[in-house]
């Protein structure tokens, strides 16, 4: 991811484009595993990845799993005015999906908390710097009751 980010960041900096770095965390994922079992947890992650790839369709968008139930989304050349709206659209879409537990066919749904930073590519060439801000925003989203998006627009 770091290498891919460096390529994206370099390309976007040359074109003076913005990048959004997004951290997404499934809400109460441990509770899903504890209540429905690990197969349900796995199904949850599969569904999240599926909805993410269908919602963020551009070839340039980079999506990867980042730890247990967290995902990172890197959106180069993004429209700074529409990113937050698009993230909220994803959040609503995921919440409306009915997930079926493969073990016993019990259905449930999940929500997601999202922290994002949108900045000119010149903001930093280190992914860690971007992720730190996205993580702070993710923490704020959880503090605000989860199932929401906290987005920072940084002007350099």
Active site residue 136: no
- Cβ(43)–Cβ(101) under 8 Å? yes
Q: Do the bridges between strand 99-100 and strand 107-108 make them parallel or antiparallel, or are there none, so unpaired?
A: antiparallel
In whole angstroms, give the CA distance from residue 101 to residue 72: 25
In whole angstroms, give the CA distance from residue 18 to residue 11: 11
From the candidates 50, 69, 70, 128, which is the catalytic residue? 69
Radius of gyration of the chain (CA): 16
In whole angstroms, give the CA distance from residue 116 to residue 65: 16
List, by residue number, the catalytic residues: 69
């Amino acid at each position: 991811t770091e290498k891919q980010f460096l390529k994206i960041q370099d390309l976007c900096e040359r074109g003076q484009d913005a990048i959004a770095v997004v951290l997404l965390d499934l809400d109460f994922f441990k509770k899903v595993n504890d209540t429905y079992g690990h197969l349900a947890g796995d199904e949850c992650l599969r569904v999240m990845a599926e909805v993410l790839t269908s919602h963020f369709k551009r070839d340039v968008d980079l999506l990867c799993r980042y730890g247990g139930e967290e995902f990172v989304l890197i959106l180069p050349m993004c429209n700074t005015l529409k990113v937050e709206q698009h993230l909220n659209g994803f959040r609503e879409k995921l919440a409306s999906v009915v997930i079926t537990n493969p073990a016993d066919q019990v259905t449930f749904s999940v929500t997601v908390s999202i922290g994002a930073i949108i900045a000119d590519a010149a903001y930093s060439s280190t992914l860690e710097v971007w992720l730190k801000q996205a993580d702070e925003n993710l923490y704020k989203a959880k503090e605000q009751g989860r199932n929401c998006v906290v987005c920072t627009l940084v002007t350099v």
